[in-house]
Amino acid sequence: MVDLKSQYEKIKTEVNAGIQEVIDTTAFIKGGKVIDFQHDLEKYLQVKHVIPVGNGTDALQIALMALCLKSGDEVIVPTFTFIATAEVAALLGLTPVVVDVDFETFNISIDALKKTITPRTKAIVPVHLFGQNANMEAILAIAKENNLYVVEDACQSIGSEFSFSDGKKCQSGTMGDIGCTSFFPSKNLGCFGDGGAIFTNNDELAAKMRSIANHGMEVRYYHDHVGVNSRLDSIQAAVLDVKLRHLDEYCNARRNAADYYDKVFSTTEKILIPARSSFSTHVFHQYTLKLIGVNRAELIKHLNDKGIPAMIYYPVPLHLQKAYQNSRYKAGDFPVAEKLCECVMSLPMHTELSNEQLEYITNSVMEFIKK
């Protein structure tokens, strides 16, 4: 699904020099590389504070910890997403409340969101799924009206830009109270291990989250909050600081691959290509198709037999996951997400796809579709 090896080959000299520098200085934790990367990312995103942490799940957890929510407070999450989004709310004793998504964009449905808000709702966690921003203008308006926090899950969407109706443009993850991202190797900005970051323009929240990520302390050995230990290490920061310089180029490479796929697949009614919304650029963390009247399992087998990976993101919506079953939800409650789980399929998507590879993949899909 990704080709991290070929990507590395192109930036090997820069990356190796950065890693070697960390080793030479032995500043493995909280070294200068972490501060450099933090500032470079703040500049790239045009956000006041970037707080580097251990991974994207920690970022989401620390964000929710900073909001002073109480047990049983409701946090709204889309039901079609990776589990981490709901998991952290559940872990903190909050109540994850799921909503359905939009069939076209895979992102949280604004109509469904409006209907789900109760007096106990305290926060909304929109997920910018597969690399395209959810409708943040609508979400921020709903949040304002109902006095809710917005924590963006931008783990798949770094580099994607949202356009507001007044012409203002913002980077993904910088519009809500807090934004979270992951630097897992296969993410759009990936390191060589685990990593993540939190974004905010709010000074108070930034100080609090920095403290929570560091055992709840500001002055060493004086603990003001119950915290966690979550850090980005210097070697990962060294890798990320190099890759950040290539992020726009990486986003373009992904978009070019998506354009190639789109062109071929838009010729058949059996495939719905990913919708591109008017208010957001797409950075194609995944290239996800909807199959109409196609045997998905057989198609995936056909592709696998030809050496082509294909994945289902995601096969089961949150409300039907075993660990999240409760009397609140049953099958049929969120028909759009349930339908998507049955018909989506993601193809290889990364920065190194050649036209030969794209041709081979698209030919192999079409060969099966036309049978």
Ligand X SMILES: *Cc1c(COP(=O)(O)O)cnc(C)c1O
**What residues make contact with ligand X under the rule CB under 6 A?**
55-57, 81-82, 84-85, 127, 153, 155-156, 182, 184, 194, 196
Nearer Cβ to ligand X, position 117 or 125?
125
Sheet holding 271-272, edge to edge: 271-272, 287-291, 344-347
Q: Least Å distance between CB 1 and ligand X?
A: 13
Nearer Cβ to ligand X, position 82 or 162?
82
Please state, as a whole number, how many other Cβ atoms lie within 10 Å of the Cβ of residue 354.
11
Nearer Cβ to ligand X, position 194 or 338?
194
Tokens of 8: 């590395």
Nearer Cβ to ligand X, position 196 or 274?
196
End-to-end distance of the chain based on CA atoms, in angstroms? 25
* Helical packing angle, 355-369 and 247-265, nearest 10°: 30
Q: Which burial class, exposed, middle or buried, applies to 155 when counting CB atoms under 10 A from its CB (0-12, 13-18, 19+)?
A: buried
> Which residue, judged by CB position, is nearest to ligand X in the bound state?
56
Please state, as a whole number, how many other Cβ atoms lie within 10 Å of the Cβ of residue 275.
14
Q: Least Å distance between CB 82 and ligand X?
A: 4
Nearer Cβ to ligand X, position 258 or 299?
258
Strand partners, 171: 161
Strands (E), 258-323: 271-272, 287-291
Angle at 19 between CA 17 and CA 21, to 5 degrees: 70
Q: Least Å distance between CB 62 and ligand X?
A: 12
Q: Least Å distance between CB 193 and ligand X?
A: 10
Q: Least Å distance between CB 307 and ligand X?
A: 26
